[in-house]
Amino acid sequence: MPMLNLLPIFAPMQAESTVLTPPLSTTYEAVIGLEVHCQLLTNSKMFAADANAFGAEPNTQVSVITLAHPGALPKANRVAVEYAVRMGLACGSAITRRNIFARKNYFYPDLPKGYQLSQDKGPICVGGQIPVRAKGFDGTLRDTAIQLHHIHLEEDAGKSIHDIDPNATCLDYNRAGTPLIEMVTEPCLRSADEAGQFLTEVRRLVRYLGICDGNLEEGSLRCDVNVSIRPKGVTELGTKVEVKNLNSIRNVMRAVDAEFRRQVMLTETGGRIIQETRLFDADLGQTAGMREKETMNDYRYFPDPDLMPVVISDAWLANIQAGMPALPRDLYHKLTTQYGLPDYDAALLTEARELVEFYEAVCAETPHYKAASNWLMGPVKAQLSEKNLRDRQFPVSATALAALIRLIDEGTISQTAAQTVFGLMVEQPERSPAELATAQGLLQNRNTNDLQSLIDGVLAAWPDKVEQYRKGKKNLLGLFVGEVMKKSKGSADPKLVNQLIMNALS
């Protein structure tokens, strides 16, 4: 392959801005598969009773089982099994009834036993899919269902810390034995956007199901991507490269793009893609090869003789099914039909389970469904992100917000005053909106005599503008209304003021 005519295509040399232009971007397509690990939100570990919690002092959440003391016998966590089944049911997977745990053997300091307990043959969930709306390879938005190969249960390894001691690697086994589900997709994704949307949907699902907190930065949700390329129209798969070290959804998308570009560039310049694991460097926006392993991994899986098979009976499965919370797509449907919300509102409100639950609680006390939606999408969401209230109780109750909506609807306070009252409700949640509005003098002034004197004062202060208005500059009306509202300290009913001024100037 001649390199010469390719240079302008790949220029400039700065990696991330290297954009493939046609025809290369249309000659090849990316084939992407994802492996997503979710740390389950159980109290204790997968096969031992030590605590499963993030951020504890190093090596304080360990037991003889986790540390592989001789003779220690593991026992599977019932709740972890149920959480895995929940995810499978949410994705429409087939649930494996007889589950065997296997040992995956390898040596690494973060793995005390010398093997990881995992599932080899017969993962707990088989097949299934997650629907997403994403930009496909050609950039057009499409609805597609990302197919799952399987979901299996396993335990996490400990943590190696390389930057505390210059002469040694420090080991913290708090994370060792933490329950994980690993979701493996089919190689059916075709674009970075599909990968990003899929992960966003997985994160939302696990949060709705209450099985994982979905935090990529803390590593409770982790994603490795497998990327290969092939000329368009070819069905055979190319050599796949695994990319690791991705700690945000954005970096997953960047890594897919970077790896696709690298493989196309390599192929076009006569290079050969080798099967390897590469690390993504977020600063450079590039992937780099890891050191070659001395020998191919050979994990020598075999069934763990210490762990009895876990059999999921019809009764147990029915019980898990009955305990399933409503899924985002069910609630989306409910919001658009039962509450008559536009698609946009329904999509936004179902982003988080807490948000939609709060919305339904508000709607239980007000018939103004759209107004409630506007409050949640606007001021409430702004407060939530500003105060980072995700894990804590939002101070304003659904009842109080419904009461505020009622005050506006009755004309007791104006929309503008309601914003002020809402701000006060966040600070002083123990006081009712009516009480706060009264205390702040924000009750809407509908007294025509009071307003008339304010209007007279404003018009007298702006004789030249009044003149211009009368000569046809009708947009000055807004100025007069604004001045009157200011003088009333926001307590006037703007509609009424509008009417009164027009009358005064006619």
Q: What residues line the site for other proteins (CB under 8 A)? A: 42-44, 48-51, 57-64, 67, 75-81, 98, 100, 105, 107-109, 160-162, 164-165, 167-173, 294-295, 298, 300, 303, 305, 308-311
What is the C-alpha separation between 263 and 256, in angstroms, rounded? 11
Residue 20 or residue 80: which is nearer to other proteins going by CB?
A: 80
Residue 162 or residue 471: which is nearer to other proteins going by CB?
A: 162
Three-class SS of residue 50? Answer: coil
Residue 158 or residue 379: which is nearer to other proteins going by CB?
A: 158
What is the C-alpha separation between 385 and 448, in angstroms, rounded? 41
What is the C-alpha separation between 214 and 200, in angstroms, rounded? 9
Three-class SS of residue 234? Answer: coil
Three-class SS of residue 262? Answer: helix
Shortest Cβ 319–other proteins spacing (Å): 13
Shortest Cβ 120–other proteins spacing (Å): 11
What is the C-alpha separation between 88 and 94, in angstroms, rounded? 7
Residue 32 or residue 102: which is nearer to other proteins going by CB?
A: 102
Three-class SS of residue 131? Answer: strand
Residue 116 or residue 263: which is nearer to other proteins going by CB?
A: 116
Residue 235 or residue 313: which is nearer to other proteins going by CB?
A: 313
Shortest Cβ 320–other proteins spacing (Å): 13
Contact between 132 and 197 (Cβ < 8 Å)? yes
Shortest Cβ 276–other proteins spacing (Å): 18
Shortest Cβ 440–other proteins spacing (Å): 49
Shortest Cβ 78–other proteins spacing (Å): 4
Shortest Cβ 63–other proteins spacing (Å): 5
How distant, in Å, are the alpha carbons of 91, 328, 441 from that of 99?
A: 19, 29, 66
What is the C-alpha separation between 470 and 190, in angstroms, rounded? 63
Residue 69 or residue 495: which is nearer to other proteins going by CB?
A: 69
Q: Quick one: which of 415, 424, 414, 433 has its CA closest to 365?
A: 433
What is the C-alpha separation between 173 and 175, in angstroms, rounded? 5
